[in-house]
Each structure stands twice: as structure tokens, then as C-alpha cells.
Structure 1
Amino acid sequence: MKRVVPILTVILVWSSAYPLIKIALEYVSPIVLAIIRLLVGGIILAIYGKGIIYGKKELIGGLINVGAFMLFLNFGVMYSENPALSATLIYTQPIFLILLSAIFLRRRASVLQILGTIIAISGAIYSAGITGFGLGSIISIIGGLVWAIGTLYYQVFLYSRDIVKLNSFMALISSIFLLPFTPFNYYFKLSLIGISVAVLIGVTAQAVGFIAWFSSIKTLGPFLSSSLSLLVPALSYVFSYVILGIVPTIQQLLGSAIVLAGIFLTIMAGKVRKPTG
């Protein structure tokens, strides 16, 4: 039972983060929220990891994998009617990672990975609606692409780094980098609720979530952890209903299920595929 506690923690804090972000955005603008989240989470990770790792490659990785991704995440949730749909579209990251790996690293995709990609894309189009593919959906999918680019960069240049110290630096440096952009779409309503929720997101989603994720990778391995993490967008629908009272449409639920099935197929294909060469 102890082995699954970390991944259960990840699922709970990350899935509940999407409706909490929606609440926080009623009081603070997306960039301000990102700065608060990254600053709080980065400090906690630095304390937990007993320091940071920094450098030029780490800086680039941080701006892509944390700074840019966080902006697309927040704006995606902001412009989505249901934050859970945004979560589902952001979690198309493995699909983009397969495509980018094939293009830049010349890693051939297997038949199952190609099939999973087609299924996931079909589900994304269906869940958002061909004619109702709004700004929130577009931003969220771009967020998935940015996440994949950052992951690929990490695999190539930063894989050997201490993951906790690396993430603490990337969060902190991204919060500083975002400061000059705060005037963009700026608003800040002084509210105890808004500030508390923003700080809570930094503590849970950015700090506790990543610490639990790293622990899960060690105890369960990357394959099982990645597979179980697909429960995050699924549970986001539950938390969005409980916290915000947002009832998902049948189209959103069915489309999201198709997306997650396709993503799971690509993850499974990566696990069972034998090395070539």
C-alpha cells in the first residue's frame, strides 16, 4: 500500500489543481498566478532538495518546461468552460513527444504508437467539438506541445541532473523571467481567498505533487506511474463538479475517454516495444 501512496497523492493534487486554478484566476491574472505558484513551489523544492542546480542548459529547460508551459496551462484553463477539458487536452503531451522524437531523434514510431496517436487526436477533436474548438482548447493543446518540447529537451540535455534540485531552479528562474510580463492581461483583486488558493496551488501542485511524482517513479517505475497519471484529467472532471459545480457534457466525457485510451496505448506501446539496432 505504501508504494502507491505517492502516485495517489500526485493524482489527487494535480487533478484538483485545475478547478483551483479556475478559482484563482477570478482574482489574479494568469501570469501573476504562475509567478506565485512557481515561487512558492520552487522555494519548497529547494528546501526539500537542499539546494538547486543551475546553468545555461538548465535555464533554457526551465523557460520551456516550466515558464512557457505554465502560461499555456493557466491561459488554457482561463479560456476553457470546463478546466477538466483543458487538463485532458494538455495531457496529449505523450502524442507530441512521439512525433517530436521521430522528427528530431529519428526514433521510429511503432504501429501501436501511431494507432494511439490517431485515436487520441480523434478524441481531442470530438471532445472539444469540430466547430466549437475554442481558444481554451487551442491553448491547452499548444500547452501539451510545449510540455513535450520541454520533455524532449530534458531527455537530451538534462537527464543526468538531480531532478528535485533541477525543478526547484527551473521554477524559481521561471518566476523571475515572468515578472516583466505581468502587465500583459494584468488584474489583481485583493482577496484572502484568491491569494490563499494561489499559494495552495504552489504548495500542492508545484511542490507536493512533484515530490510525490519523483517518489512514485522510484517505487513504481516510469511506465506504471505514467499510466496511472492518466487518472489526473479523468478525476479533474470530478473535482470540477465538486468544487465548481460544472457538469461535463456527454461529448466531453466520451471524447476525453477516447483521448486517454489513445494516450495509454502509446505509453503501453513504448513499454512493450523492443529496442532496435
Structure 2
Amino acid sequence: MEGTLRWSLVTAVAPIAWGTNYFVTHEHLPAGVPLYGAILRALPAGLLLLAVCRRRPRGSWWGKSLVLGALNTSAFFTLIYVAAHRLPTSLASMIMATSPVVLMLLAWLLAAERPAVRALAGAAIGITGACLMLLTAAVRVDALGVAASVGAMVLSSVGYILAKRWAGEVDVLASTAWQLIAGSLILIPPAIVVEGAPPALDGDMLFGFAYVTVVATAVAFTAWFAGLKHLPAASVGLIGLLNPVTGVLLGTMLAGDTLTVRQLLGIALVLAGLLLGQPLFRRFRRRAPDPVVLSGQCVPATGRASARDRGPVP
């Protein structure tokens, strides 16, 4: 149980960091350059992790790094960049809040990891809470932004399951570094063709990219993939519900507002769903007490020796 709790707390670092990413991307990063935005976020993070682990891919991991990089970096970062600029943070976060169900279903199909009833119930409660938190007012719906957000969720979920299947082959730090670098390199040719020269960055943008590179990418993805390695996919998906909770709390704090009753109820439901679906409290089988040696006979401590076992009474 202690190990499960520890890895759950480690995993929680990722969605909390990602919950701040929508705001930073929307407010501090240049719009209209999703390909370069993804490269400038992922490549420095990958190189930073590579400098720490000092390991290169070997054998099949050259190909696996490309597959994971294409799904978890190239596609995900580009699409989430588009969604962050075309959708209100609340709507983008709400769409991503459905990812626990998608991750559970894909884990069942691709990794034979059948979700428990408690996990499904937790997902239903958590998603309901996310909707209460986020849909507090009319929001502008952009079709391309919604498509980008849904695409990012589905493609990254496939990548997460593949990363979980291959997690036992190499350490998490190395595999995270390889896929971030591979995904960045995949994006460089289309970025040059579609977006031309890299964008000029001012001090505010450099600060924004530094944050999303170190905190929302290098640290967050290492924590996330570590969770996928040690926890069931359903548990990891539910921990991801901390993403919209972080977004709501951050938005409220920056706006100087107070949380409404509806938002507080939504947060409570998200946390209740998250806890319900976690395997933190396992049922332990009662262990029989050690036997007691009595008059040369081995007798269970909870039982009484029979008259025959006790021998003659002095």
C-alpha cells in the first residue's frame, strides 16, 4: 500500500503541472506556430533528461522511440498547442478530463488490463465533477480546437499504453528523453515547410518556454511515465483528473475571484472519484497466528488443544 501511495503522489505531479500549461501557453507563448511551439517545448526537455541519464537507445528502442515520440510528443504537443490557443481553458480542460475513460478502454484493448468496477465508477464521478467545475458559463466552441483537443487525448492515450507495455525494458528517464527528442526531430521538417523560420522570442516568451520545458514537460512526463510503469492504467488516468482541478484553482487565483459552490462541489466530486478508483486500500487476508508449542504438540494460537493433544493434566 505504501508503494502504491508513493507512486500515486509521484504521478500527481504531472497533471498538476499540465493544469498550469494551458494558461502559460495561452498567455505567454506565440500563437500560430504550433509546430515550433511543440519543438521548443520538447527538444530542450529531452536533451535535459538525456544529459541526466546519459544513455542512448539500443536495438528495438530506436523504432520504439520514434513511435512513442510521434504519439506522445509530435502529435500531442502540436494538437494541445492548437487547442490551447483556440479554446477557452475550461473547455479544453473538460475535454481532456474524459481521458481516464479513454485510457481505461485502450488499456483493456491493447494491454488486457480490464478496468475494475470501482475505477469506472470513480471515472464517472470524477468526470461529472469536472463538468460541474468547468461549465460555469457559456463558452465559445471552436470546431478545430475541439478536434485538436480530442485528437491529442486519443493519440496520447495510445502512446501511454504502448509506453506502459514497454516500460520494463528500460528506465523511465531514458525512455522519456528518447521519445521527446525523437518527436521533436520528426516535427522539424514540417515546421520549416509550413511555418517558415522559427518565431522571434521576447523575454516573456522565453520565460514561458522555460517553464513548459522544465516543469510541464521534463519533470511532468518523467513522473507520468513512472506512474504508468508502477500503477494500473486506470489509476493513472484518474489521477489525471487533477489537471482540470489545477486549471480551475489557478484561474480563480489569478482572477482574484472566489470559488463558487458549484466549483467546490465539482472539486469534491473529482477528488472523491479519484480516491474511489485508487487501489490504495487493499483487503488483507487475515493471517493465522503462529502456532504455539504446547507439551510437544503444535497447536494454533487461536484454537484450543484437544484433550488428546494436551496430554495428561497434572
Whether TM exceeds 0.5 here: the answer is yes
Larger Rg: 2
- TM-score by length of structure 2 reads 0.66
Contact 2:129 2:265 in 1 (8 A): yes
Partner of residue 94 from structure 1, selected from 91, 97, 100: 100
Q: Which runs of 5+ in 1 are unaligned?
A: none
Tell me: CA distance 1:6–1:112, structure 2 relative to 1, closer, same or farther (3 Å): closer
Aligned partner of residue 268 in structure 1, secondary structure: coil
Shift in Å, 1:71 = 1.8
In structure 2, C-alpha distance between the alignment counterparts of 1:264 and 1:189, rounded to whole Å: 42
The match for 2:119 is 113
Q: What amino acid is the match of 1:235?
A: T
Shift in Å, 1:217 = 8.6
Contact 1:26 1:194 in 2 (8 A): yes
Q: Which runs of 5+ in 2 are unaligned?
A: 1-5, 285-314
Residue 188 of structure 1 pairs with residue 195 of structure 2: no
> Which deviates the most, 154-163 or 92-101?
154-163
In structure 2, C-alpha distance between the alignment counterparts of 1:80 and 1:251, rounded to whole Å: 25
The size of the alignment, in residue pairs, is 267
Residue 81 of structure 1 pairs with residue 85 of structure 2: no
In structure 1, C-alpha distance between the alignment counterparts of 2:264 and 2:10, rounded to whole Å: 28
Partner of residue 68 from structure 2, selected from 55, 61, 65: 61
| 1:234-264 Cα distance to aligned partner (Å, 9 max, x none) | 1222323445x49799699479648835862
Q: What amino acid is the match of 2:19?
A: S
What do you get for the CA RMSD once the two structures are aligned? 4.2
Identity over aligned pairs, percent? 20
| 1:145-171 Cα distance to aligned partner (Å, 9 max, x none) | 222111111223444222111111111
Q: What amino acid is the match of 1:18?
A: Y
The match for 1:145 is 154
| 1:21-58 Cα distance to aligned partner (Å, 9 max, x none) | 11234456222111001111011000111123241122
Contact 1:28 1:189 in 2 (8 A): no
* Higher share of residues assigned helix: 1
Q: What amino acid is the match of 1:199?
A: A
Contact 1:122 1:259 in 2 (8 A): yes
Contact 2:130 2:244 in 1 (8 A): no
> Which deviates the most, 151-160 or 171-180?
151-160
- TM-score by length of structure 1 reads 0.74
For CA contacts below 8 A with separation 6 or more, give which structure has more relative contact order.
Answer: 1
Equivalence map 1:30-45=2 (5 Å):
30-45=34-49
Tell me: CA distance 1:235–1:132, structure 2 relative to 1, closer, same or farther (3 Å): closer
